A and B are shown apart, each in its own frame.
Chain A
């Protein structure tokens, strides 16, 4: 059974020091909170690449396929016959293909962000604090009960102004 600690940091470099110390001490389950995305945090955490791009690619490919398909299939099924002209003509249908690619690709990208970020969240998030949307940085650490004291000392040592238990 793991228990949680929330630490509040007013300074960015203090937060980054604490992240590096936690990683060094092999604390594996922790979440960082920041009022704005910062490269310093990314360098300290070295997180994996977001998978959003795969959703974008798949959404775009599905969109362009659907766009061409709907135009070609409906032209063949309900033909508008004009002498000497192709019933399905891929050049003007590229516009439909492109627009539907952008539409489905963009919506898939947003859906990917929602899925990967686990939003919409309908319940309170353990470890989050209103100060983290304001001006302060935060870390929520999950650890075995016997390691909590050590974690608290480490967070305070690196500049946490408040550390409290939460689960």
Chain B
């Protein structure tokens, strides 16, 4: 494999992220479409994912047959692994739209080569998250009662309930994210269509590309559409996890009833999403030989964003403790003491170590530019962010106002299998995606590659 010299460290806060080893449009088409060829390693990873998914599906079937009592619920802890994992996957789903929409509006150049991966991750993560409320309700065949549609039950959903807000927020987010992913893919599918030699695949790609021809009017409407979709998606990202946080903050339970929850959840979601982006993009750049597209500079810039969001999340953790102390409310104070030094100390310290302490290593430029460390750190972040949701949900429910109610919680094999199955489901879709459609945006990479010119200094002074 060819090695490529890293460019001089650019100003990565601006759009000045160059791809010095990418010379022309032909190279972009050739190298990115080469990633679509299935390999043995990919097949093995897909088989493992499908096996994990089937394990989760079997556990869910068992639960549906024998009842929700097979999950580890222990009154009053009636929210457990399913709601924790729901919030975890919704959070993962946030980085995609953050990277594709917010960084697009900020003109952050390091977004270009990682956003497709992050967008696909978003769609599959929200698809995974959406399963968990359905699993959690125990009678999954009645989930559609949350959706307002004309019916003869003489009752509509209560629009004052955060659970109904969730339905609207998550379904809007899934629809808009999937649309954003698909429309961004249209020009790239057209590239694949015109390179394809297999007539059946060519036909399929022709349908999927909707007859896109790369004409100037198409691009003109496309770029405006992309801008407005990004402008819509940005507040949507912030709203969705705020709404998820309302599931907790609207209740009077100690540890939940806090106005800090919406920004705290949004920052946590973005942090966990960036963690998952690292978990995915670092192996992809290595195994797909895309190190000269997703350069060390891109990883360095994304690591800075990771560090920033980690510090926001850390700040939120500390403010929670301060508010509990300052409120003078004994239930809040007792709850927070129990969280860190009592019954749940081990979970809280996993959270604090993985989310606050380990990411401080990213102050070191050497570590920010070390993909191996970023990958290891990303695993800790995923673990820490799952435990963050555990720490929010379980200690609150197990330690409410009345001491006689205090309880504990241990997930059962059914919960754990469904949790593992959710990773299988997510990675199964992701692995199928990366061998069908380009994981790096061809058209957007072409925008930053210098076009061929007949004169040395461009056209008419326009740049």
- Residue pair B458, A109 in contact (C-beta under 8 Å): no
* A115 to B: closest C-beta gap in Å: 9
- Residue pair A13, B455 in contact (C-beta under 8 Å): yes
Given contacts A74-B159, A105-B232, contact A53 B179 (CB under 8 A): no
- Residue pair A119, B455 in contact (C-beta under 8 Å): no
- Residue pair B452, A50 in contact (C-beta under 8 Å): no
- Residue pair A12, B183 in contact (C-beta under 8 Å): no
Given contacts A74-B159, A80-B158, A109-B225, contact A98 B215 (CB under 8 A): no
A53 to B229, CA, bound (A): 10
* A31 to B: closest C-beta gap in Å: 5
- Residue pair A41, B216 in contact (C-beta under 8 Å): yes
Interface membership of A132, Cβ < 8 A: yes
B214 partner residues in chain A, CB cutoff 8 A: 33-35, 128, 132-133
Interface membership of B221, Cβ < 8 A: yes
Tell me the B191-239 residues at the A interface (CB within 8 Å).
Answer: 191, 193-195, 210-225, 228-229, 232-233, 235-236, 239
* A45 to B: closest C-beta gap in Å: 6
Residue ID in chain B nearest A109 by CB atoms: B228
- Residue pair A119, B459 in contact (C-beta under 8 Å): no
- Residue pair B453, A11 in contact (C-beta under 8 Å): yes
- Residue pair B220, A50 in contact (C-beta under 8 Å): yes
Interface membership of B411, Cβ < 8 A: no
A16 to B148, CA, bound (A): 54
Given contacts A33-B215, A78-B154, A106-B233, contact A99 B459 (CB under 8 A): no
* B371 to A: closest C-beta gap in Å: 28
The 0/1 profile, CB within 8 Å of B marked 1, for residues 66-83 of chain A is: 000011001101101000
A140 to B159, CA, bound (A): 54
Interface membership of B325, Cβ < 8 A: no
* A134 to B: closest C-beta gap in Å: 6
- Residue pair B452, A11 in contact (C-beta under 8 Å): yes
A45 partner residues in chain B, CB cutoff 8 A: 216
A32 to B217, CA, bound (A): 8
Tell me the B147-200 residues at the A interface (CB within 8 Å).
Answer: 148, 154-156, 158-160, 164-165, 168-169, 172, 175-176, 179-180, 183, 186-187, 190-191, 193-195
The 0/1 profile, CB within 8 Å of B marked 1, for residues 130-167 of chain A is: 10111100000000000000000000000100000000
A117 to B213, CA, bound (A): 10
Q: Across chains A and B, which 6 residue pairs bring their CB atoms closest together, nearest first?
A: A121-B211, A13-B459, A36-B446, A135-B25, A130-B194, A113-B225
19 interchain pairs (CB within 8 A)? Answer: A17-B459, A37-B222, A40-B462, A47-B220, A56-B232, A60-B232, A78-B155, A80-B158, A103-B172, A105-B228, A106-B175, A106-B228, A109-B232, A113-B224, A114-B210, A116-B221, A119-B186, A123-B211, A134-B191
Residues of A at under 8 Å CB distance from B? 10-14, 16-17, 31-45, 47, 50, 52-53, 56, 60, 70-71, 74-75, 77-78, 80, 89, 92-93, 95-96, 98-100, 102-103, 105-107, 109-110, 112-114, 116-117, 119-123, 125, 128, 130, 132-135, 159
